[in-house]
Structure formats: C-alpha cells, structure tokens
Structure 1
Amino acid sequence: MDIDLALVWALLIAASVFLYVVLDGFDLGIGILFPTARSSSERDVMMNSVAPVWDGNETWLVLGGGGLYAVFPLAYAVLMPALYAPIMAMLFGLIFRGVVFEFRFKAPPERRWIWDVSFFLGSLTAALAQGLALGAIVQGIEVEGRAYAGGWLDWLTPFSVMTAIAVVIGYALLGATWLIWKCEGPMQAHFRAKARLLGGLMLAMICIVSLWTPALDPQIAARWFAFPQILYTAPVPLMVLGLAVLLFTSLASTRDATPFLASLGLFLVTFAGLGISLYPNIVPPAITIWDAAAPDSSLLFLLVGAAVLIPMILAYSGYAYWVFRGKVRPDEGYH
C-alpha cells in the first residue's frame, strides 16, 4: 500500500504547530499577564516558572516553519508575501522576549520595570501577530496562478482582528492555569480568579469564531451544518462544552493541574475544528496539500530525518519538564 507522504507531512506540521501554540502559548500568556502581578516577587516567580523551558518551546515553531518551506514550498511561497507584516512582528516580539529573559534579572531593581514592560509588550506583540496571521489564513488568501495576488494589508480585517484578540485571551488563559499549577498560596488564588474571567472570555471567543468562520465560505458552512456532515462535526462543540465544565469545576476546587490540562484540551479541540474547516486546503481557498507538496522523493528523504529528529526533541523537552516539575517559590526556585 502506498503511503500518502503529503498527508503524513501535513499531519506532522500540524502537530508541530499545535505543540508550539500550546507550549509557547502559556509562556506568552505569562508575559501578557505580567501587568496583573501584584509585586516584583510575583513577577520573579512568573518568569522563573517558564525560564527553564521557554526556548525549548520555540523549537516547534522552527520545525513547523522549516517543514513548511521544505515540504510545501508552494504554500510557503504564497503565505510569506501575504503575511510578511504579522510574521515579522511576531519574530521581533519573540526576539525581544528572549532579550528580556537574559537581562531582566541582571538589571538594578530601580530599572527592572523597563524589562517588565518590555516582556509584556514582546509577549503581546507576538500573540497578536499570530492571531492576525491565523485570521488571514482562515478567511482566505488571494492567489493567481501560483503566486500571491493580494495587497499589503489583506491580513488586516475585522475577522483577523477578532482572531488576534481570541489568541491573546487564549494564551492568557493558558498562562493563568499554568501559574495555578506551578504556584501556591495567595499567588495561586490570584491567578485562579484571573483564570475564571479568562475562561469565560475564551468561551465567548470560541462561540464568535465558530459562528463567523462558516459565514466566510459556503463550503465551510456546509461541512459544519449540512447533513450528514453534521453527524461527524457535532462532537466538536460537545467536547468544547465538556471541557468548559471541567475547566470551571476544577477552578472551583483545589486541583492544581486540571485547569491547565482542560485549557490544553480546549486548544486541541478548537485546533481540530480549524482542521475540519480548512482540510484539504493548506492555503485556503484553492491550494490543497497535494498541490503544494514537494516531489515524493523529497518528502521521503525529509521524513527519514524527521523520524530521527522529532523523537529527540520530544525526549529532551519531556526531560526538561520532568526535571522542573515542582512548584516555584519566591527566593527558592523549584521545590
């Protein structure tokens, strides 16, 4: 039986993008939540909670972007001109955050606020840029022949602004629930309250996106609401509802890890819903996975390398999270 290498690579890149979104998402969320911290000590704990893993989280962005360039060169050639501005803004935001991680703790106390503001702005910029890029892709990219045919600001629309706000709220929820898991005492209670508010906002944004996205394209609407397709897509909103109940019940209890896991579940289900809306297009509305794929010989050659590289990344990432699995306390680090 022949293996559909293009589909295999599409799944691998989708998995890499998802891992980047949820892993780098919670440390971007912590930066977004930085102004809500009540003291410098709390900000130290927030940054220490992600300091051992933040750079490893961004490995998945490199893998996803590099994989897109090598495996789906046509998609890369169309998406990059369409999304130059938000992608460059995202990269500058991520670079700025990396500088803050290195310099904040070395700054004298009276100047540390500069790096605190920088950490917030870098995180917010990266999250907004990712949301704008996502919205631009979902609403469709104008293509003529094999090239981008739109304008410089096609990525900036009411829909993409809405998705940018949704991404910021979602990342902030991940950050708040991560801090519930990693902190204790009054700080944990503080972010438990923030997570309740952000969870409600997140559900509201999921509802808005779920209703707006089918309105963009009749094919997407048919996939979600026409019979018999609705029988296959109905479990998605039901799982969102179940995970929302789990999130809020765990926030009302003393469980530390469950809110974060429920938030990850919400991201996974909504990511699957996005895949249902877009499949088989990699550049909506016209370029499919197979249209954009490199020759099978190239896909097979790259797949051999990925079979070695991806398990290594998973292994060292898992080991890092295991080593730093404890609570973070002021002036103590991990316990």
Structure 2
Amino acid sequence: MESLDLTLVWAGIIGFAVMAYVVMDGFDLGIGILFPTLQVGEERDQAMNSIAPVWDGNETWLVMGGGGLFAAFPLAYAIVLPATYPLIIAMLLGLIFRGVAFEFRWRDPRHRPVWDVAFSLGSVVAALAQGMTLGAILQGITVENDAYAGGWLDWLSPFSVLTGLAVVAGYALLGATWLVWKTEGSSLRHAQTMAWRLGIMTLVALAAVSAATPNLHYEYWRRWFEMPGVLLTAQVPLLVAITAAILFWSLRRGHERLPFLMALALFLLGFVGLGISLYPYVVPPAVTIRDAAAPTESLRFMLVGALVIIPLILTYTGWAYWVFRGKVGTHGYH
C-alpha cells in the first residue's frame, strides 16, 4: 500500500461511486420524469413495479459519494457545499418527496393522483438539481483562503441550467430504455417511442454542453483541442456517435436490453469527458485533488474499510438485480 498514490485511488473510488449512482438511480429518476406521459393504471403500475425492488438500494452510491468526498477530500467538501447549498437542499427534498410518494401511492390509493404528482415532481427536481450542481462546478467556484468566497446565487447561470436540462433528458432516456427492457404491452410500445425522442434530445443536449464547456476556461479548451492530446480526446465524440447509432439501430430492430446498455454507455462517455475537462481539479479552477486530500494516514485507514464494503455492496446489488431480472407486469415480476 506504500507504493499506491492514495489520492488518485480515492479520486477513483469517489468517481466510481458517483458514476454508479448516476447509472443505478438515473433510470428510476428517469421513470419519475416520464411518469406524466404514462397512462394512469397499468402503465404506471408496471413502471413502479419495475423499480420497486431496487430503487432505494440505488441511492447507496449517493451516500457513499458524498461521504467519501467529506472523508477523503474535506477541503473540496467544505467549498462545494456552501457554493451549491440551494441545489443540494432541492435535490434532497426532491428525493424525499419521491421516496414518500413511492410508498404512499400504494398505501393511500384514494390520494394516488397527488402521490403521482409528488413522485414525478420530486424526480424532476432531483435530476435538475444534480445537473445544475455539475454545471456550477464546471463553470468554476470562487475560492479565497481555502474557503468559498462567492455569492448565494453564483451557481445559477445559463450554463448550469443547460447542464441541468441535459441531465433531466439523459435520465429520462435511461428510464425509457429501462422500461423497454422491463415492461410489456402498451408500456413497452410507449417506452420505445419515448426512447427515440429522448435519445435525440439527449444527444442535442450533450452536444450543447460539450460545445459550451471548452469556452468556460482556457484550460478546458487546451485539454480538448491542443496537439497531441486531441488525438485521444477526439475518440470520445467518435465513440458517442457510434454508441448513438447502435442505440437507434437497436430500438428500430426491437431489441429490449441493448438500448438500455447503450444509454448507459452514453453516460459513461459523458463521465469520461467530464474527467478530461476537470482533472486534476476537484474545485476548478482553484483546488486540485492533491490540495483537497485528507492526510495520507486517513486515506490509508479508510481504504481498508472501502476494500471490504464496496465488494459487499456490489455483491448484494448484483444479486438483487439478478433475482428481479425478468419482465414485470401490473402485479410484479414474473
């Protein structure tokens, strides 16, 4: 362990946790975003049943990402949270409302329309807040003397709104392709139609964010377009184009699992692009991961626990998805 660069290891662990959250909670937030387009009754019940066994476990990764940032990079945590408090509060309230609505729509059928609205609105707010938080970090945070020195609304800008809408569209695409995989009948047909539309919307949003990001800071532009680095970074948009082509081809051919995997691949490529822009900064343009890292002894101590806990989480998560791997009907999996 002495030869390990523990700062990089922990940056990788937190990056993995964030990506795992986006992958796993993204599709059930996406189902909430799509909820108003689903017919009351069978379509909505199928959608809810498809995520019922896994939705709360998916949020484990959000806790791990936030807790890991606090423990491994406390300076970054102390700067990012004050800079984005309204967004973080909005996200947590959205997650609370959708969680409560998820349970109460079954227990209180007399008020089910109200809970459906709460479920959908909470999902939209949580997704929008997550995307705007990403935009706020990318556009830069004002730091003086290792503390946030900006204003209450510095996070609000056209760029952060754009990234927020892009994440909403992307999550909705994940939700639609999940329903293509998991549902049948009218729910399946509706999901296929929505996946086409949302695929186009997501690609347009991704292109807009990708075009705007290099103009935020010269450092971003340099990493993407200066030689010889451009020979590597150019592979990211190329892979996005290939992935998008496979996504639409698989939808046209009626595949049910492949569209979801391609939607996940689009998010993974977006995450790679984000890493290219940000590295080595955790709070651009002022604080790098090494500036923000906890003492080596702390990182080493926490790594021992992480090497035990992460495989356990992956094991029980994988087992849950395996058990509930089939199609879902109105009354549950079959």
Q: TM-score, normalised by structure 2?
A: 0.98
1-side partners of 2:174 and 2:235: how far apart? 23
* Correspondences of 1:1-335 after superposition (within 5 Å): 2-108=3-109, 110-331=110-331, 333-335=332-334
SS at match of 1:282: strand
- Listed one character per residue, the Cα deviations across residues 268-320 of structure 1 (whole Å, up to 9, x for unaligned) are 00100000000000111110010000010000000000000000000000010
2-side partners of 1:257 and 1:179: how far apart? 10
SS at match of 1:39: coil
* Residue identity in the other structure for 2:192: R
1:329 Cα shift?
Answer: 0.9
- Listed one character per residue, the Cα deviations across residues 69-120 of structure 1 (whole Å, up to 9, x for unaligned) are 0000000000010010000110011111111122111113x42101010100
- Listed one character per residue, the Cα deviations across residues 11-68 of structure 1 (whole Å, up to 9, x for unaligned) are 0000000000111000000000000002322111111110110010000000000000
2-side partners of 1:224 and 1:39: how far apart? 46
Gaps of 5+ in 2: none
- Listed one character per residue, the Cα deviations across residues 216-265 of structure 1 (whole Å, up to 9, x for unaligned) are 01111011111111011011001000000010000101210000000000
1-side partners of 2:205 and 2:102: how far apart? 31
1-side partners of 2:251 and 2:225: how far apart? 33
2-side partners of 1:21 and 1:329: how far apart? 26
The root-mean-square deviation of aligned C-alpha atoms, in Å, is 0.8
2-side partners of 1:261 and 1:294: how far apart? 36
1:168 Cα shift?
Answer: 0.3
Percent identical pairs in the alignment equals 62
* Residue identity in the other structure for 1:112: R
2-side partners of 1:111 and 1:104: how far apart? 7
Kept in 1: contact 2:163–2:209 (CA 8 A): yes
* Residue identity in the other structure for 2:100: V
1-side partners of 2:221 and 2:9: how far apart? 26
Kept in 1: contact 2:49–2:329 (CA 8 A): no
1:184 Cα shift?
Answer: 1.5
User: How many equivalent residue pairs?
Assistant: 333
SS at match of 1:52: coil
SS at match of 2:282: strand
SS at match of 2:129: helix
Gaps of 5+ in 1: none
Q: TM-score, normalised by structure 1?
A: 0.98
* Residue identity in the other structure for 2:240: V
Structure 1's consecutive aligned runs of 4 or more residues displaced over 6 angstroms after TM superposition are none
SS at match of 2:265: helix
1-side partners of 2:123 and 2:40: how far apart? 19
Deviates more, 1:218-227 or 1:256-265: 218-227
* Residue identity in the other structure for 1:91: L
